[in-house]
C-alpha cells in the first residue's frame, strides 16, 4: 500500500481526503480546533485572520448549495479570499479535463482547493497533481468520502455525549450510496466508539460492510434498541426508480424514523441528519423538529469544523 496521500513527510495533515487512515491525534486535533472556533462564530465580529491573503477555490463538479455555502462562510471567517466555481456548468461541458481545470486554477495561485466530484477518488487524483504548497479538501467524492461532514458529525456527538467510549451509534438508510455513512463509520471506529450499527434493507447495504467494523441490522426496531445516537441518511428519490426500493411509502414504514420507533433508543438519544431532509421519507417531522433532534446545531458546528480543517492544512 502506498503512503497515506493526505499526510506530509512529517505526518502532518497536507490534504483532507478521507477520515479513513487519519491518525486519531489528527482527528482529535481537528475537533479541538473546531471547539475554539465555535466561540468565533458566536461573536459579533465573526472573523479571525488565520488565512489572510490566502485563496480558497471552491471547486464543485457536482451541484451543492449547503456544503459549498458552509465552506465559503468558513473560509471568509478565516479571512481568506473565496472563489466559487461551479464546474458542473462550465468547463466540463466544454470538454476540459479535470486535471487541466486544476492546472489552470493553480496558475491563478490557489492555496486550498475545496473539491466536490461525483466520482469516487477524484480528490485523490487532484491531490497527486497539485503543487506542494496547495492543499486539497474533499467536500464529497462519489460514494466514497465526505470527511468534513463526518468530522462535524463526530463534533456534534462529542458535544452532546462528551465521550465515545460507551456509545452505541446507529446509522440508518442508504449506506450503499452514502459517503456520509462511510466517513462517519471510519471516524467512530477511529475514536473508539464500541458499537456502530448500520440499519437498512439489503439492497441499500454495500457488500462486506461488516468489514468496516459495523453490525448490520435489517430490522430497524432491533437496531435502534438502546442507541445513544441515531444518524438518518438522506434517501434520494431516484433510488425508487430502479430495483432498489419499491416505494417511498414502504420505505418510510420500515426505515423512517418516527417518535414511536425512537422510543426504543435511550431516553437521551440524539438524532442527526446530514441534510437535506426528506420529511416523511426517512424522517418524520415530529422527530426532525423534536427535542432529540440536533440537526440544526450540526449545521452550525459544520462551519467551525471546516474552519478548523482549512486552518490546519494551510495554516
Partner 1 sequence: MRLAIKNARIIDPASGRDSAGDLYIDGGKISEEFSRPERVIDAKGLVAAPGFIDLSARLREPGFEYKATLESELEAAAAGGVTSLACPPDTDPPLDEPGLVDMLRRRASAQARARVYPVGALTTKLEGERLTEMAQLADAGCVAFSQANAPLANTQVLWRALQYAATFRLPVWLRPEDAWLAKDGVAHDGELATRLGLPGIPAFAETIALATILELVRATGARVHVCRLSTAGAVEMLRAAKREGLPVTCDVAIHHLHLCDMDLGYFDSNCRLEPPLRSQRDRDALARGLEEGTIDCVCSDHTPVEDDGKHLPFAEAEPGATGLELLLPLTLKWAEARKLPLSKALARITSDAARILGVPAGRLAIGAPADIALFDPRATLRVSPENLKSQGKHTPFAGYELAGRVRYTLVGGSVVYEG
Question: Which spans of this chain sit near partner 1 (rule: CB under 8 A)?
Answer: 1-2, 5, 20, 97-99, 117, 119-122, 124-125, 141-145, 179, 182, 206-209, 211-212
Q: If we measure between CA atoms, which residue out of 62, 241, 220 comes closest to residue 146?
A: 62
Looking at the DSSP bridge assignments, the partners of residue 116 are 60
CB of 255 to partner 1, least distance (A): 20
For the chain, give percent helix, strand, coil, nearest 5.
Answer: 45, 15, 40
CB of 77 to partner 1, least distance (A): 30
With vertex at residue 135, the alpha carbon angle to CA 129 and CA 138, rounded to the nearest 5 degrees, is 90
Nearest to partner 1 of 210, 250 (CB atom): 210
Classify burial at 7, counting beta carbons within 10 Å of its beta carbon; exposed 0-12, middle 13-18, buried 19 or more: middle
CB of 306 to partner 1, least distance (A): 21
Q: Is the distance from CB of 272 to CB of 298 less than 8 angstroms? A: yes
Element (H, E) at 58: strand 55-60
Classify burial at 76, counting beta carbons within 10 Å of its beta carbon; exposed 0-12, middle 13-18, buried 19 or more: middle
Nearest to partner 1 of 68, 179 (CB atom): 179
Nearest to partner 1 of 1, 107 (CB atom): 1
- Residue 311: partners with Cβ closer than 8 Å, 6 or more residues away: 33, 50, 51, 78
Nearest to partner 1 of 124, 251 (CB atom): 124
CB of 202 to partner 1, least distance (A): 13
Nearest to partner 1 of 5, 275 (CB atom): 5
CB of 5 to partner 1, least distance (A): 6
**Distance (Å, rounded) from C-alpha 69 to C-alpha 281?**
25
Nearest to partner 1 of 28, 212 (CB atom): 212
Q: Is the distance from CB of 136 to CB of 309 less than 8 angstroms? A: no
Nearest to partner 1 of 108, 211 (CB atom): 211
CB of 99 to partner 1, least distance (A): 6
**Crossing angle, helix 295-314 and helix 147-161, to 10 degrees?**
120
CB of 209 to partner 1, least distance (A): 6
Q: Cα-atom radius of gyration of the chain, to the nearest Å?
A: 19
Q: Which residue has the cell 426505515?
A: 255
Q: Is the distance from CB of 217 to CB of 223 less than 8 angstroms? A: yes
Amino acid at each position: 500500500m502506498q503512503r497515506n496521500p493526505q499526510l506530509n513527510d512529517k505526518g502532518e495533515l497536507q490534504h483532507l481526503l478521507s477520515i479513513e487512515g487519519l491518525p486519531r491525534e489528527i482527528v482529535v486535533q481537528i475537533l479541538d480546533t473546531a471547539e475554539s472556533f465555535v466561540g468565533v462564530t458566536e461573536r459579533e465580529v465573526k472573523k479571525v485572520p488565520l488565512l489572510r491573503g490566502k485563496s480558497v477555490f471552491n471547486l464543485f463538479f457536482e451541484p451543492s448549495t449547503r456544503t459549498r455555502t458552509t465552506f465559503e462562510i468558513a473560509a471568509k471567517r478565516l479571512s481568506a479570499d473565496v472563489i466559487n466555481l461551479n464546474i458542473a456548468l462550465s468547463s466540463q461541458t466544454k470538454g476540459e479535463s479535470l486535471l487541466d481545470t486544476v492546472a489552470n486554477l493553480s496558475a491563478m495561485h490557489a492555496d486550498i482547493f475545496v473539491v466536490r466530484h461525483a466520482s469516487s477518488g477524484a480528490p485523490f487524483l487532484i491531490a497527486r497533481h497539485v503543487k506542494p504548497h496547495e492543499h486539497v479538501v474533499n467536500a464529497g467524492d462519489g460514494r466514497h468520502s465526505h470527511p468534513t461532514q463526518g468530522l462535524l458529525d463526530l463534533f456534534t456527538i462529542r458535544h452532546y455525549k462528551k465521550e465515545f467510549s460507551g456509545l452505541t451509534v446507529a446509522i440508518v438508510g442508504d449506506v450503499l450510496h452514502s459517503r456520509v455513512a462511510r466517513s462517519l463509520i471510519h471516524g467512530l471506529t477511529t475514536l473508539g466508539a464500541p458499537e456502530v450499527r448500520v440499519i437498512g434493507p439489503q439492497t441499500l447495504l454495500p457488500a462486506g460492510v461488516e468489514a468496516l467494523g459495523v453490525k448490520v441490522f435489517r430490522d430497524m426496531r432491533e437496531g435502534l434498541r438502546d442507541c445513544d445516537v441515531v444518524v438518518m441518511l438522506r434517501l434520494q428519490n431516484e433510488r425508487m426508480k430502479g430495483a432498489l426500493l419499491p416505494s417511498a411509502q414502504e420505505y418510510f414504514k420500515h426505515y423512517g424514523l418516527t417518535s414511536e420507533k425512537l422510543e426504543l433508543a435511550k431516553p437521551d438519544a440524539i438524532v442527526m441528519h446530514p441534510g437535506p431532509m426528506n420529511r416523511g421519507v426517512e424522517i418524520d417531522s415530529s422527530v426532525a423538529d423534536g427535542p432529540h433532534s440536533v440537526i440544526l446545531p450540526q449545521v452550525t458546528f459544520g462551519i467551525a469544523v471546516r474552519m478548523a480543517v482549512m486552518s490546519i492544512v494551510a495554516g
